[in-house]
Every structure is written in C-alpha cells, then in structure tokens.
Structure 1
C-alpha cells in the first residue's frame, strides 16, 4: 500500500506535514510494503487536484494522510477512490508510526457530505472518526 502525505518541502521541513492540501510544497509517498519513504517536489506544479490524484492513483497510491481538508477536496479524494486519514499533529514520523499500527483517525465521508448539504461551517477537527488501534 502506498500513502500520499503533503509536506512543507523536500529538505529542511520534509518531516513536517503541511497544514492543508492547498498549502503543500512537496509530497511524501510512503510504501508500507517496502517500508520506503520518497519525497517529490511539487512547487510550481500547475495541475488540478483531480490531475494530481489521478497520477497518484496510477502510481498505486490509494491512501492519504492530511491535516485539514475542505469538504470539496474530500469529495475529490472520495471520487478517485482514496481513503483519507486525519494526521495527528504535523510530525510525519509520528503519523507514519501511527499508520503502521492502525491508530490514525479516518475521515468520515458521510459527515462531510452532511456538512456540505447543510452549508454548515466546517470545524477542522470534526470530520473524522477514530479507528481501533492494534496494540
């Protein structure tokens, strides 16, 4: 399984998860099977969300770890078949460890859809549900 994580950059801040999908400067791809982390520079890329997700999907990426996501972006992920985890803080290493032991919260698509339909304010910490840890 490959996981996409937007990070600040590929150098000094490569272990810092970007605040939002809109604000990322680089991309970290974690291959859980190979236990391999790879960084890609994404600044200056003029691709749309849909194009980025399509390319990631074609490279075998099916999951993402993200700090904050707007409901419309969540829908883009869902439409492309991605599974989204909510990061715990912004430390990449901690989040990858939590992913390995299945302790990252999972975004709740149904709640995001309800918020979209109601036109409600989107509180950034309310659209995910916890998963059961395997300890």
Structure 2
C-alpha cells in the first residue's frame, strides 16, 4: 500500500499538506531502493482543481501519514477508504519504519478537532507562518 507523506526535504514530516509543497510517495513494494520513497512536489501528482482522493487512488495511494490534519480532510480521506496515520514526531525514516511494522495509530476525529485552529494558509492574511492577522 503506497503512502503519501507531506515532507520538508527528505528527513522531516511536515505538519500537513498546507505547510509544504513536497511529499514523499512511499512504496514498500518498490523493487528499486530509489523508488521506495520518491520525493516530488505534491501539485505535480495532484494538480489544483483535481479530486484529491480520486487522483490518490489512481496512482495507488491508500494512506496518508502526517502529524496534523483538519477534521474535514480526515473525513474526506476516511470516507474515500484512505487510511490516515498520525506520525510520532517528525522523523520520516523512523515513522516509515513504524508504518512497516504496523505500529502507527490512525488519526481520530477527536485528534483532528484539536487541530481545528490550524491555519490552512488559504486566507493570505498571515503576519508570520505561525500568526494569523484575523482572529479565529
């Protein structure tokens, strides 16, 4: 089962797809080591305006690994049969190892609700990466 992971570079898991432009497409069944974790800009595989879950299924992605997720995104993935796993910290290699060993926990609705105040970056009114001009 392929997994998509929002990443910073090739070592750290990002807080979500809205925090980075890059993802790791992890394929534990890849025959060549270079293809086990392929790093690409996520908009090249899921273009703007496309149906994200449909595109993910077309390329064989059946799971998401992230440290944070909004409830609506979690529901979209789960309703489409895509598993969403909560990372343990931001070390990519460690979390991929946990995934291979089936030791990662799925995100719950309660955990996603705790992320409800996370800025999506869509309003374009940020003072800094961590502080929004508009009140939540």
> TM-score, normalised to structure 1's length?
0.70
Structure 1, unmatched stretches of 5+, are 116-121, 125-135
> TM-score, normalised to structure 2's length?
0.70
Q: Does 1:123 align with 2:114?
A: yes
1:15 aligns to what? 11
2:48 aligns to what? 47
> Alpha carbon RMSD of aligned pairs, Å?
2.3
Q: Counterpart of 1:94 in 2: which secondary structure?
A: helix
CA separation of 1:93 and 1:60: change in aligned 2, threshold 3 A: same
Q: Does 1:98 align with 2:98?
A: yes
1:31 aligns to what? 27
Query: For 1:105-133, what per-residue CA distance to the aligned partner results, in whole angstroms no more than 9, with x for missing partners?
Result: 11235x47xx8xxxxxx324xxxxxxxxx
Structure 2, unmatched stretches of 5+, are 116-136
Q: How many residues align?
A: 110
